[in-house]
Amino acid sequence: MALANRLHPSHRRPISLPRPWPACAQELLRQGASWLRGNSWEGDLVALPGGPLLESRWDGQRWITLLDGRELAGQPFDILERVTTADHPWIGALSYELACSEAGLSHQEPGAGALGLSWRGVTRALQVEGELAELWSWGEAHVDDLEGRLAQACALARPQLGTLTPRWSETAHREAVETIRARILDGDFYVANLCVPFDGAWAGDSATLAFSCFRRANPPYGAFLPLSDLTLLSLSMERVLGKSGTTLISEPIKGSTPLTGDAIVDKISGEALRLDIKEISEHTMIVDLVRNDLGRVAKFGSVRVSELMTLHTYPTVQHLVSRVEAEARPDAGLADLLRSMLPGGSVTGAPKQAACKHLADVEAAPRGFYCGAIGWIHHDDFELSLPIRTAQIFEDHLTYWAGGGITLRSEAAKEWGELHLKTQVMKQPRAMS
């Protein structure tokens, strides 16, 4: 279990899974466990409930950060850096608006009391990789009947998700796209990532919805996080920033085409995507932006593109993905790295300052945790995904955003179709088998 070499649990105990995985985790999830899954997390990591809680909320004038209810002084990223030096890892998320605030970028003001950062310390976790499972703990060893809890089958309500409805019309989206194209012609920016919220009525059990969506999407960076005010269900394919030792890695995604299941059709559409001038130019601009962002916190001359515009295939879509690596400067702490890289360039545009200013003026609502960051932090190592393909689930409704980069070559009708393509993974949720 390679992840153990990065999270350094104090104690490891093999666990026999009494029921098929991941169904045996349903009782833990019902009780508030956090779940990271996918090949990029090296299996499934289920953080058991408990542990200290760090939260930042907007009070209408500034971000107030509390650790287990006690207010801490400082900016949220600086506090996060201080707190995560503890012996145990942390799992959590931060919002797009908080990331913009920390980076000095324009953004829509969240509502008073809005949650912008939520990280919980992990004292115990279940790690599953293939058919192997272990109980990990940090600090003192715990003895309990975890196998018995995993064997419990609880009655979970089948998820019922209404039609996802965009918060503005195709006409409004076309006008927004044409405005961006006009601003590009004026030289204000090169690309802007325009995002639209989709809303749907919701009832049922969110863990069951997560099972269904994970099975349908098989995301490299899946996450199911119960937070104080909402639950996050992320089906992200994109790593916004990872750090292992001194190595920094970002894997921007730009360029999409549907996956039909017809091998010949998908091969043709994939090759067309690789040759599409609009997609190539957009992707190149974002890779350059990521290189620049990494360059501010990297050792001189260490930034390199190790993979450029490789076609990656997922269950419902094909994407162009690049990989940018660098060696972190010794004086660059967690807060420096986050401020340099967040929000991710693939969900803002270039240059960031101008693109974010325009998006703050025109988008339908604050993005919330969509396009912020989700993942784990442990000492100097971390893995953070970019929460695209992410639902923010409330008591009786959910919001699922979709977006796309707008360049001078963008066609409004295609951009509108791409938004709906990206919602497909949330449709027709199936009951857990």
| pLDDT surpasses 60 at 297 | yes
Helices (H), 9-140: 26-30, 76-83, 96-103
Instruction: Output the six-digit token pair for 369.
Output: 């945790």
pTM, to two decimals? 0.94
Peptide bond between residue 343 and the one before it cis (omega within 30 degrees of 0): yes
Q: Please name each of the domains of the chain with its CATH number.
A: 4-426 (3.60.120.10)
Query: pLDDT of 27-77, one tens digit each?
Result: 889 889 999 998 778 889 999 998 999 999 999 999 999 999 999 999 999
- State the pLDDT at residue 272: 95
Note whether 223 and 236 are within 8 A (CB).
yes
Selecting among 102, 251, 254, 327, the annotated active-site residue is 254
CA neighbours closer than 13 Å in the CB half-sphere of residue 57: 16
Query: pLDDT of 110-145, one tens digit each?
Result: 999 999 999 999 999 999 998 899 999 998 777 677
**Exposed, middle or buried: residue 292 (CB in 10 Å: 0-12, 13-18, 19+)?**
middle
Peptide bond between residue 258 and the one before it cis (omega within 30 degrees of 0): no
DSSP string, 206-263: HHHHHHHHHHHH--TEEEEEE-SS-EEEEEE--EEEEEETTEEEE--EEEEEE--S-H
Is residue 414 among the annotated active site residues? Answer: no
- State the pLDDT at residue 312: 93
Query: pLDDT of 156-168, one tens digit each?
Result: 667 888 999 999 9
Selecting among 42, 55, 81, 238, the annotated active-site residue is 238
Q: Which of 34, 17, 35 is nearest to 133 (CA)?
A: 17
Buried b (16+ CB within 10 A) or exposed e, 84-122: bebebbbbbbbbbbbbbbbbebbbbebeeebbbbbbbbb
CA neighbours closer than 13 Å in the CB half-sphere of residue 79: 21
Query: pLDDT of 316-354, one tens digit each?
Result: 889 999 999 999 999 999 999 999 999 999 999 999 999
Cβ partners under 8 Å of residue 382, min gap 6: 241, 242, 243, 334, 375, 376
Buried b (16+ CB within 10 A) or exposed e, 8-28: ebeeeeebebeeebbebbbbb
DSSP string, 67-93: ETTEEE-S-HHHHHHHHTTSSS-EEEE
The whole-angstrom separation of Cα 44 and Cα 124 is: 14
Is residue 243 among the annotated active site residues? Answer: no
